[in-house]
Amino acid sequence: MSATVKLAQPIHQELTLTRVFDAPRALVYQMWTDPKHLAEWFGPREFTNSKVEVDARKGGHIRLVMNSPWGTQHPMDGTFREVVKNEKLVFSNNAVDEAGGILIQAITTVTFEDAGNGKTKMTLHTDAYGMVDVSAKMLEGMEAGWSQSFEKLADAIARAK
């Protein structure tokens, strides 16, 4: 990644997305906590994941490396702050550069609710702060990136059922 300039004042962005999946809560939750499943869907359309580690317990880590179709890698590193099986995940998720410097610092909360008829209502809320100049462009694409991830998640759930 090119040299970055630390911002005097971080850029702030919040996002809340809700989606209903045609699957029970336990399966939707597992798609977040099983590294094999998370690797299938996490990241925008056409992105893949070359490294996925998930230790879904309070204090456990979540780490992954997203690979863009243009050959760039986008590492993410975080720590679980709260884990309630099949109900809630709260974790830090920091976009980092190759040296481990934080580009975006975020806290994400994902809740899973029974939506009846074997369906799950999943709500994601993320509160993100861009720390360097390249963060603005990354935050601009945050809603599209998460929305595309959820499209991929729906496909992964259909395959897993």
1 falls within a domain: no
**Do 113 and 104 form a contact (C-beta atoms < 8 A)?**
no
Lowest mean pLDDT among 25-29, 87-91, 94-98: 94-98
Residue with tokens 């994902």: 110
pLDDT of residue 161: 87
Mean pLDDT, residues 63-74: 96
Q: Phi-psi bin for 122: left (phi > 0), alpha (psi -120 to 50), beta?
A: beta
Beta strand pairing call for 73-84 and 94-96: antiparallel
pLDDT tens for 2-14 read 457 887 788 999 9
Nearest residue to 131 via CA among 108, 90, 97, 98: 97
Q: Is the pLDDT reported for residue 1 higher than 80?
A: no
Q: By three-state DSSP, how is residue 149 classified?
A: helix
- Is 43 domain-assigned? yes
User: Residue 42 domain-assigned?
Assistant: yes
Selected residue with higher pLDDT from 4 and 52:
52
Beta pairing, strands 120-132 & 6-21: antiparallel
Q: What is the mean pLDDT of residues 55-67?
A: 98
Buried b (16+ CB within 10 A) or exposed e, 133-161: ebbeebbeebeebbebbbebbbebbeeee
Instruction: Tell me the C-alpha distance between 40 and 13, whole Å.
Output: 26
Query: Which residue is listed with tokens 């975080």?
Result: 78
Q: Is the pLDDT of residue 62 over 50?
A: yes
For the whole model, what pTM was predicted?
0.93
- Structural domain range at position 59: 6-160
pLDDT of residue 98: 83
Say how many domains are in the chain. 1
In the three-class reduction of DSSP (H, G, I as helix; E, B as strand; rest coil), residue 54 is classed as: strand
- Average pLDDT rounded to a whole number, residues 141-150: 97
Q: What is the pLDDT of residue 2?
A: 45
134's CB contacts (< 8 A; 6+ apart) are: 1, 2, 4, 103
| CATH code for position 15 | 3.30.530.20
**Once rounded to an integer, what is the mean pLDDT over residues 78-105?**
95
